[in-house]
Copies of this chain bind each other. A is one copy, B any other.
Amino acid sequence: MMLDPETQAIPRDCGDCPIRHRAVCARCEADELELLDQIKYYRNFEAGQTVVWAGDKMDFVGSVVSGIATLTQTMEDGRTQMVGLMLPSDFVGRPGRQTAAYDVVATSDMVMCCFRKQPFEDMMSRTPHIAQRLLEMTLDELDAAREWMLVLGRKTAREKIASLLSIIARRDAALNIAGRQGPMVFVLPLTREAMADYLGLTLETVSRQISALKRDGVIVLEGKRHVTVPDFNRLLDEAGDDSDGGMLA
């Protein structure tokens, strides 16, 4: 048996925080960081653990430091749609709101850097650098959500899978800054069911389309989760995106 994961969080100095330059604190000066440092606390979540349920009171906000979380919406009859995939540096929660709008679930083991909502809001109103960065991040998320509307509304099952894979591949390439030319390799952080919930498909269709992409040589699988992409432009092409090298910006 393990200790309560919540108690394992290791205090960390903002200076060597892996998301220092991308998270909501990215623009903060040393003195501002100091203040944030005083109100932050870490929380660990195990894979599968729920962070909050939609509608529940949520008295904190925070950044994903490592691991992955999902935001999902559920209808009364059980149909679910994932509406956000929260990766390291992404911001969870909404200042100025009392309750969670979506179920937030840790898909892998995850660490969050949290702030109690009230102190964070106070700080936000006194620290333009935080509000500025949050606006920028929110605009980026809005663009991502709109991009996803096109995927959900107009793409075929095969294109949907290719779109998801290319997003994950791109992100992975961005983290492992390696400006490599060779084939991209990554681990799928989602089950087939989670992919289906993201893509508005059934898990059977997800499985079939992954098999088809494998059969056609667009991807190579080792095990169920380990993916190799021999030709990224080919994958983009299958996703129906502009195939010109959008190149990992």
A interface with B by C-beta (< 8 Å):
71, 73, 75-77, 79-81, 83-84, 94, 96, 101-102, 125, 128, 131-132, 134-136, 138-139, 141-143, 145-150, 152-154, 199-200, 240, 242
Main SS class of interface, A: helix
**Docked-complex contact B136 and A96, CB < 8 angstroms:** yes
**Docked-complex contact A80 and B154, CB < 8 angstroms:** yes
Number of copies of chain A assembled together: 2
**Docked-complex contact A152 and B200, CB < 8 angstroms:** yes
**Docked-complex contact B80 and A146, CB < 8 angstroms:** no
List 10 A-B residue pairs with CB atoms under 8 Å apart, sorted by A's residue number: A75-B154, A76-B240, A76-B242, A81-B153, A83-B150, A94-B139, A96-B136, A96-B139, A128-B128, A131-B132
**Docked-complex contact B102 and A154, CB < 8 angstroms:** no
Contacts of A141 in B (CB 8 A): 142
With both beta carbons as reference points, the residue of chain B lying nearest to A74 in the complex is identified as B150
The smallest C-beta distance from A139 to any residue of chain B, in angstroms, reads 6
Contacts of A81 in B (CB 8 A): 149-150, 153-154
With both beta carbons as reference points, the residue of chain B lying nearest to A83 in the complex is identified as B146
The smallest C-beta distance from A239 to any residue of chain B, in angstroms, reads 10
Contacts of A142 in B (CB 8 A): 138, 141-142, 145
The distance in angstroms between the C-alpha atoms of A245 and B83, with both chains bound, is: 24
